[in-house]
A and B are shown apart, each in its own frame.
Chain A
């Protein structure tokens, strides 16, 4: 019974990932696989952001910087250094983690709106830097040679492999999220979210805890970045550091329910589904981002706890399952 209590919150999230992974294989359609890939990527990114936003209570408007930076480091290692995809993904995650550690030490002393503003600045600064950094190809970025896909059974097979890696990374992100949520470290983060001064008085070493939360929230985005741009074939500053993608991630986390393991997964799923409909509709295709903005406004005004948070408040018995 105790064990069930401890792990009950992770059952649903793993089921969702499993279904997303198996669904394209059953239907056998490449287009389904690509939709599924997009959702898995969003799940991985949103669950990672949730560690900082949902557990620690720090709003980052520039979380995509870790995705872009990891992607650049990975592709640089793939092309110039001839590393394999596996080691490049690990290196991308590590590079983003180191970046988060350095940034966290510098800007996590800021609170509230000041921190949020600083994160936007970091994203834009990184974009400008990469634009002028010759080793990363400057404004034209890095393009993969087609022969890169050879060791993975050609381009078509590489797409299939990338899909399974994306599923693995999404799983890694939610496991990380769950482990943090149920650990003593996570309890400290929640205390910081609720009242940082009170947490410090109770002995939570807030500067360290916040920095590590930032690091944990950066690892998987760095890895996903490498995978996505490997699959994409090239990386450019504009694609690597899109500010609107950061805001979309915020919408996903807030929509599903910040501070829960399942919330960001549900939010990513719902948001990508909605986005898929909007960009193909004649009326909405050009104002798709305005709809996201309006959605964010509605969530903040009416269900600040998100869908899962709302359910948890209404039906307390669901709290164990909807962790």
Chain B
């Protein structure tokens, strides 16, 4: 299997806070990689470094066999990277369709407006936003805005999709819907990294999981191995009993 994304000793510091320290991992094409860790462990920062919002102080990011360290988000988008935001960022005064068209128009396929409209119709159908197509994005509820984030990212037809807590704030049935959607995305051959706190989802969806704690990678492996790793249980959950309970729920 070819490697789509590779991080080599990536470090990022904000003033006195070491947000990421020597993070390295390889992501093969077609895999769903789970990224977990306690609050403030540096998960979203890692996403921001991967997609160019922040440049790392040291280390290298290799995407599609090219060193993309320090490239801007729009350059990486053009190379086939797309992401959703933990705190949704809808283009409020534009319609849902126009929001999705932005993803198709300016992503790596660089579609014209006509094709972008067709793609956005398909993608809205896929994530279940078709009935909202002509509504302003600002008028959607949280669950719909999360779907919109996803639709915009998918409309670019990316190689790599970064999903930042798409399940947070959703209720049980919405979570089940979203998990089905993520699995369907994988069937299209898109490689995915997910940040998620909902253990049920992480365990069911991910092929492999990496765990961050205080900016360092402390464990890596398949879901069962991670769930039973005492280091993870201690760092991530603090309380082994709680861990057991969460696993049973999953």
Contacts and interface: CB of A to CB of B under 8 A. Distances in A.
A260 B107 CA distance: 26
A191 B107 CA distance: 13
Contacts, number: 77
Contact of A187 (B90, B105, B107): B105
A200 B72 contact: yes
B91 A191 contact: yes
Given A190-B98, A191-B91, A200 B73 contact: yes
B5 to A, nearest CB: 16
A199 interface: yes
Contacts of B91: 190-191, 194-195, 198-199
A5 to B, nearest CB: 12
B211 interface: no
Given A201-B73, A203-B107, A203-B156, A190 B78 contact: no
Given A187-B102, A191-B94, A203 B108 contact: yes
Given A201-B77, A203-B156, A206-B74, A188 B89 contact: no
A51 to B, nearest CB: 16
A218 B157 CA distance: 36
A197 B74 CA distance: 10
Contact of B102 (A183, A191, A259): A191
B94 A204 contact: no
Contact of B78 (A183, A193, A203): A203
A201 B74 CA distance: 6
Interface in B101-125: 101-103, 105-108, 112-113, 116
A202 B107 contact: yes
B234 interface: no
A182 to B, nearest CB: 8
B93 A204 contact: no
B69 interface: no
B93 A194 contact: yes
Contact of B85 (A190, A198, A206, A259): A198
B53 interface: yes
A48 B144 CA distance: 36
A166 B130 CA distance: 46
A184 interface: yes
A205 interface: yes
B102 A202 contact: yes
A203 B92 contact: no
Interface in A197-254: 197-206
A194 B85 CA distance: 15
For the complex of A and B, 5 pairs with smallest distance between CB atoms: A203-B77, A203-B106, A194-B91, A198-B89, A200-B73
13 contacts: A188-B102, A188-B105, A188-B106, A190-B93, A190-B94, A191-B94, A191-B102, A195-B89, A200-B77, A202-B102, A203-B103, A204-B74, A204-B106
